Every structure is written in structure tokens, then in C-alpha cells.
Amino acid sequence: ALSGQAISFLRRDIRAVSVQDADVIFLYTFPHIMEYLEPKFDRELRPGTVVISHAFGFPGRQPTEVVTLGSGFNKKRLLRYEW
């Protein structure tokens, strides 16, 4: 539940902005960007920050949860990570 919390949705180039104040990050990006973001997140994210990725994982981390949506050709994965 998010009652009483201020929520901001930002659409930015994640390579160019600080993510140190983020509580949750949703990524809809390409696999090669995940390799770049992993060390950036290690430097900037606070412990407990949740990162949800559409389809692609981080090369050096195991997701804490994987959710599969749809089936067949329309099958999609959401990967949840906790820093």
C-alpha cells in the first residue's frame, strides 16, 4: 500500500540521472544497458531499493522474484531485484 506517500513517475535517460533517492525503479530497456546499470546501481542505490525489469536480467545478480505474464508468443517476464 502506498497511502500517504508522494509518488513520482519519471521518464528519463537512466544513464544520465542520479538514482540515489529512488525507492522503486522500473526498467523497460535493452540487454546491453543492464550491464551498464548494474555497477551504477551498486554505487547509487540504497539497500532495499526495488528494481523491476521487463524481460532482461542483470548479469551478476539473481532476481528475488520472476513473474511470467501471458503465454506462447506473448509470454513476458518481469524480474524483481532488491539492492
User: What's the pLDDT tens digit per position in 37-64?
Assistant: 999 999 999 999 999 999 999 999 999 9
Rg (CA), the chain: 13
Task: Show Cβ contacts of residue 13 under 8 Å, excluding neighbours closer than 6 positions.
Answer: none
pTM above 0.75, yes or no: yes
- In angstroms, rounded to a whole number, what is the distance separating the alpha carbons of residues 50 and 11? 17
> pLDDT-derived band of residue 73, with 50, 70 and 90 as boundaries?
confident
